[in-house]
C-alpha cells in the first residue's frame, strides 16, 4: 500500500490480566499506549488476575474480553487518539486459549451496528461456550497422555508438533471438551485461538489462525506444514470436521487479510482502508518487538515467565517448545515457559512489603542479599522453589521447598536456618533464572551456553533487582537491555511492528530487513542497557558461582518433582 506521512499502526495484546494497545508511527516509534485491566476495570466479571479458578480448571470469560475491547478503544477516543490515521492493525493473544463460535457467529460479526456494544451484539449468541480455557489450566493430564500415545512418545510428539503434550495446549483442551461436553463441541462452528479471536472482532469475520500460534496446539505438524492426521483423528472422530472448525492457518505473517469491519469505522473513526494483518501468540509477537541477533535471548516477565530464542535449526526436545516463526519462513522460535512467574513473585513481595502494593522493599532486599544467600564463602547456598500452581518446568506439584547446599542437599523448614520471607526474596528470582539458564544452554551452544544480549520485557522488567539477578545468573556477555518505551507492552509493540511491515513492506522485504532499516535510521535511542555485560572472567566470577550450583539445583528439582503429593510448606 502507498505510505502516507502520518500513518499509524496499532498492536493489541489480549494477555492474561489486561488488554493493551500500542500505537506506533511509520518510523516504529511508540506514540500512544492504552490498557484495560480486567480485574480493576471490569469487576463485574469477578476475575482474579484475569481468570476464574475452579480446582485445576482455569478459564476466562469470553464476554469480558469483548467488553474490554470496546472499553479500551473508547478510552483512546476520549483521550483524543486519531483513529483516522490508523492504516494497519495486528496483535497478539495469550497462547493456547480457545474460543468456540456458534453457527450464528459469522452473521452476527458481519452485521455489527455502531450504536450497540460488542457485548450486546455478540454475547452469548455468537458462542457455544462462554469461557476460554486459560494457559494456566492443568486439567487435561488424561488427554495429554492420549496425545503422546497417539504418536508413540513425548519425544515423537515434540518432533512433530514442536512440543511434548502440555495440559494448556489447545488439542488436549478441545479433546477434553469433546469428551465432557460433546453437545458443545458438536454445536461449535469454528474454533479460534485468543489471537485469531481478537482479529476476528476487528475483521467482522472469523480470522485464520497464524502460522506461529497454530504450533501451540499439539495438532500441527511443523515440518510438513499441515495438521497431523493422527492427532486430529485422536481429538475428533471426524477429522475433516475438526480441520474445518480450526481453519487452514495463514502462512504469510504480513498478509493484508481484509479491511477493518465497518463497526470500528463508524464507532471509533478508523479509515475504511485500515487493514487487518494476522494476529499471533503473545510470545511470537514479543520476538517482533526489536531486531534480534543470533544468541540474543528475550526473557518475558509477564504473568508467565518465558525465555525466547530465534533459531534457524529445527531441533526438538520435550524440555522446550519450538514454534514456526511468525514472519519468516525457515526460522523458528524456541521457548521455555513457566507458570509460576509474576504471581509467585507477588506472593513473596506481599509477604515482605511494609507498604501494600509496592515493590520497594522486595527490590531493596533482593539487591542487598548476597549471591545464593551466602554471607561468607563457606556458608551453604540457599535454593528455593515457589510454585503456587503446579509448574510446567519442571513438572512439579504446587508447594514451596527450601534447601541448603554445601555440596550435599538439606531440605529445611521455615525458621532457624531460613529467615522467611526475607530469604525468599533473592532466592525466588535466582531460582527462576537458574532454571532458565540450565535449560537454555543447548540453545546457546554456539555462545558456550551464554547469551549475547538479554532483552527483558513484560511487567517484571521494570524491576531493577530482577534484571540485575538475571544478568548475573546468565552472565550475558553484552548485558541486559530494555526498550526505553513500552517494555511492559512488548507483545503489543511486536504486533504493531507486524502491522507496519504488512502494510509498508516492499516486494520481498523480510520483517528483519524492514525492522533493521527503520530501527537504525533513528540512530538508536530506543533501548537502554540496564545491566552491564560480563565478558569471560568479569563480574567477580558470579556467573561461575551460579554455574557451580547448577548440578545441585537439578538434584533439588528432582526431589521437588518426586513430592507427588503436593508436599510443601
Ligand atoms: N516493579 C515491578 N517488579 C516486579 N514485577 C512487577 C513490577 N511491576 C509489575 N510487575 C508484575 O507484572 C505483572 C504484569 O505483567 P504483564 O506483562 O502486564 O502481564 P500480562 O501481559 O501477562 O498481563 C504483574 O503480575 C505484576 O506483578
Ligand atoms: O502459555 C504460555 C506460553 O506457552 C504463556 O506465555 C501465555 O502465552 C500467557 O502469557 P502472558 O499473559 O503471561 O504474557
Q: What tens digit of pLDDT does each residue of 342-384 get? A: 999 999 999 999 899 999 999 999 999 999 999 998 999 999 9
* Number of neighbouring beta carbons within 10 Å of residue 501: 26
Span 6-16, mean pLDDT?
97
CB 81 within 8 A of CB 142: no
Higher pLDDT, 534 or 531: 531
H/E segment holding residue 198? helix 194-203
Name the residue with the closest Cα to ligand 2, atom 14. Answer: 302
Nearest-ligand number for the alpha carbon of 490: 1
Which of 18, 304, 391, 456, when mutated, tests ligand 2's pocket best, judged by the most ligand atoms within 8 Å of its CB?
304
Q: What tens digit of pLDDT does each residue of 84-96 get? A: 999 999 999 999 9
Mapped onto helix, strand or coil, the DSSP state of residue 86 is strand
Smallest Cα–Cα separation from 1: which of 408, 273, 266?
273
Q: Binning pLDDT at 50, 70 and 90, where does residue 3 land?
A: confident
Q: Identify the pLDDT of residue 445.
A: 87
* Number of neighbouring beta carbons within 10 Å of residue 420: 16
Q: Hey, which residues does 190 pair with through a beta bridge?
A: 101
Is the bond leading into 124 cis (omega within 30 degrees of zero)?
yes
Question: For domain 291-482+535-569, is the CATH number 3.30.420.40?
Answer: yes
Over the Cα atoms of the chain, what is R_g? 23
Find out whether the beta carbon of 462 lies less than 6 Å from any atom of ligand 1. yes
Q: Identify the pLDDT of residue 535.
A: 72
Find out whether the beta carbon of 481 lies less than 6 Å from any atom of ligand 1. no
Interacting residues of 442 by C-beta distance below 8 A, sequence separation 6+: 317
Span 46-65, mean pLDDT?
97
Smallest Cα–Cα separation from 357: which of 83, 90, 39?
39
Q: Quote the ligand 2 centre to 542 CA distance (angstroms).
A: 30
CA distance 154 to 169: 14
Domain locations in the chain as residue ranges: 8-283, 291-482+535-569
Say what the pTM is.
0.94
Q: Identify the pLDDT of residue 294.
A: 82
Which of 364, 459, 488, when mutated, tests ligand 1's pocket best, judged by the most ligand atoms within 8 Å of its CB?
459
Q: Quote the ligand 2 centre to 189 CA distance (angstroms).
A: 26
Residue 523 has pLDDT above 70, yes or no: no
Span 164-185, mean pLDDT?
98
% of the chain beyond a pLDDT of 70: 98
% of the chain beyond a pLDDT of 90: 89
CB 459 within 8 A of CB 301: yes
| Residue in this structure with the C-alpha cell 532486599, named with its chain if needed | 365
CA distance 93 to 96: 9
Nearest-ligand number for the alpha carbon of 134: 2
Span 177-181, mean pLDDT?
98
Nearest-ligand number for the alpha carbon of 96: 2
Nearest-ligand number for the alpha carbon of 459: 1
Q: Quote the ligand 2 centre to 28 CA distance (angstroms).
A: 25
Find out whether the beta carbon of 283 lies less than 6 Å from any atom of ligand 1. no
Q: Determine the atom of ligand 2 nearest the C-alpha atom of 15.
A: 12
Q: Identify the pLDDT of residue 5.
A: 82
Name the residue with the closest Cα to ligand 2, atom 10. Answer: 94
**Tell me, what's the ipTM?**
0.97
CB 197 within 8 A of CB 205: no
Q: What tens digit of pLDDT does each residue of 389-404 get? A: 999 999 999 999 999 9
Residue 22 has pLDDT above 70, yes or no: yes
What mean pLDDT is reported for the chain?
95
φ, ψ of residue 336 in degrees (nearest 5):
-110, 140
C-alpha cell at 286: 514479543
Task: Give the class (CATH, top level) of 8-283.
Answer: alpha beta
* Number of neighbouring beta carbons within 10 Å of residue 496: 33
Q: Identify the pLDDT of residue 569.
A: 42
Q: Determine the atom of ligand 2 nearest the C-alpha atom of 304.
A: 13
CA distance 285 to 277: 12
Taking CA atoms, 474 is separated from 225, 295, 467, 541, in Å, by 34, 12, 11, 12
Residue 272 has pLDDT above 60, yes or no: yes
DSSP string for 98-139: EEEE-TTHHHHHHT--TTS-HHHHHTTTTBSSSEEE-TT---
Amino acid at each position: 500500500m502507498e505510505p502516507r506521512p502520518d500513518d499509524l499502526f496499532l498492536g493489541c495484546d489480549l494477555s492474561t490480566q489486561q488488554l493493551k494497545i500500542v500505537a506506533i508511527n511509520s518510523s516504529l516509534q511508540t506514540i500512544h499506549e492504552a490498557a484495560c485491566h480486567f480485574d480493576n476495570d471490569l469487576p463485574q466479571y469477578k476475575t482474579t488476575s484475569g481468570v476464574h479458578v475452579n480446582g485445576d480448571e482455569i478459564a476466562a470469560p469470553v464476554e469480558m474480553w469483548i467488553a474490554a475491547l470496546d472499553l479500551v478503544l473508547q478510552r483512546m477516543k476520549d483521550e483524543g487518539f486519531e483513529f483516522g490515521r490508523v492504516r494497519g492493525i495486528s496483535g497478539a493473544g495469550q497462547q493456547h486459549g480457545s474460543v468456540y463460535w456458534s453457527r450464528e457467529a459469522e452473521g452476527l460479526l458481519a452485521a455489527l451496528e455502531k450504536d450497540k456494544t460488542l457485548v450486546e451484539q455478540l454475547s452469548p449468541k455468537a458462542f457455544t461456550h462462554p469461557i476460554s480455557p486459560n494457559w494456566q489450566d492443568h486439567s487435561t493430564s488424561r488427554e495429554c497422555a492420549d496425545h503422546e500415545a497417539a504418536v508413540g512418545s513425548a519425544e515423537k510428539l515434540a518432533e512433530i508438533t514442536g512440543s511434548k503434550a502440555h495440559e494448556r495446549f489447545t488439542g488436549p483442551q478441545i479433546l477434553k471438551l469433546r469428551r465432557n461436553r460433546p453437545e458443545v463441541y458438536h454445536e461449535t462452528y469454528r474454533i479460534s485461538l485468543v489471537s485469531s479471536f481478537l482479529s476476528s472482532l476487528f475483521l467482522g469475520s472469523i480470522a485464520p489462525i497464524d502460522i506461529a500460534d497454530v504450533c501451540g496446539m499439539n495438532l500441527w505438524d511443523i515440518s510438513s506444514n499441515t495438521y497431523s492426521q493422527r492427532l486430529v483423528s485422536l481429538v475428533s472422530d471426524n477429522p475433516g470436521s475438526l480441520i474445518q472448525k480450526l481453519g487452514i492457518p495463514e502462512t504469510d505473517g504480513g498478509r493484508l487479510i481484509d479491511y477493518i469491519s465497518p463497526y470500528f469505522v463508524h464507532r471509533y473513526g478508523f479509515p475504511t482502508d485500515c487493514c487487518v494483518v494476522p494476529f499471533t501468540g503473545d510470545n511470537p509477537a514479543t520476538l517482533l518487538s526489536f531486531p534480534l541477533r543470533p544468541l540474543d535471548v528475550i526473557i518475558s516477565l509477564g504473568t508467565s515467565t518465558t525465555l525466547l530464542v530465534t533459531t534457524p535449526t529445527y531441533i526438538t526436545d520435550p524440555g522446550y517448545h519450538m514454534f514456526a516463526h511468525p514472519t519468516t519462513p525457515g526460522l523458528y522460535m524456541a521457548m521455555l515457559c513457566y507458570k509460576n512467574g509474576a504471581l509467585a513473585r507477588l506472593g513473596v513481595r506481599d509477604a515482605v512489603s511494609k507498604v501494600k502494593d509496592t515493590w520497594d522493599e522486595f527490590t531493596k532486599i533482593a539487591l542487598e542479599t548476597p549471591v545464593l544467600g551466602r554471607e561468607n564463602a563457606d556458608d551453604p547456598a540457599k535454593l528455593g522453589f515457589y510454585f503456587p500452581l503446579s509448574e510446567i518446568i519442571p513438572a512439579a506439584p504446587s508447594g514451596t521447598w527450601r534447601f541448603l547446599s554445601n555440596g550435599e542437599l538439606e531440605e529445611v523448614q521455615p525458621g532457624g536456618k531460613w529467615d522467611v520471607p526475607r530469604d525468599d526474596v533473592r532466592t525466588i528470582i535466582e531460582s527462576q533464572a537458574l532454571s532458565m539458564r540450565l535449560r537454555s544452554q543447548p540453545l546457546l551452544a554456539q555462545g558456550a551456553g551464554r547469551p549475547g544480549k538479554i532483552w527483558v520485557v513484560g511487567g517484571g522488567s521494570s524491576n531493577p533487582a530482577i534484571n540485575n539477578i538475571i544478568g548475573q545468573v546468565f552472565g550475558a556477555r553484552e548485558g541486559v537491555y530494555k526498550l526505553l518505551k513500552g517494555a511492559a507492552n512488548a507483545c503489543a509493540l511486536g504486533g504493531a511492528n507486524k502491522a507496519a511491515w504488512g502494510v509498508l513492506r516492499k516486494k520481498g522485504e523480510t520483517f528483519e530487513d524492514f525492522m533493521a532499516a527503520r530501527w537504525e535510521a533513528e540512530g538508536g535511542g530506543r533501548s537502554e542497557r540496564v545491566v552491564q555485560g560480563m565478558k569471560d572472567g568479569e563480574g567477580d566470577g558470579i556467573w561461575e558461582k551460579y554455574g557451580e550450583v547448577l548440578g545441585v539445583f537439578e538434584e533439588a528439582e528432582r526431589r521437588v518433582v518426586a513430592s507427588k503429593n503436593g508436599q510443601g510448606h
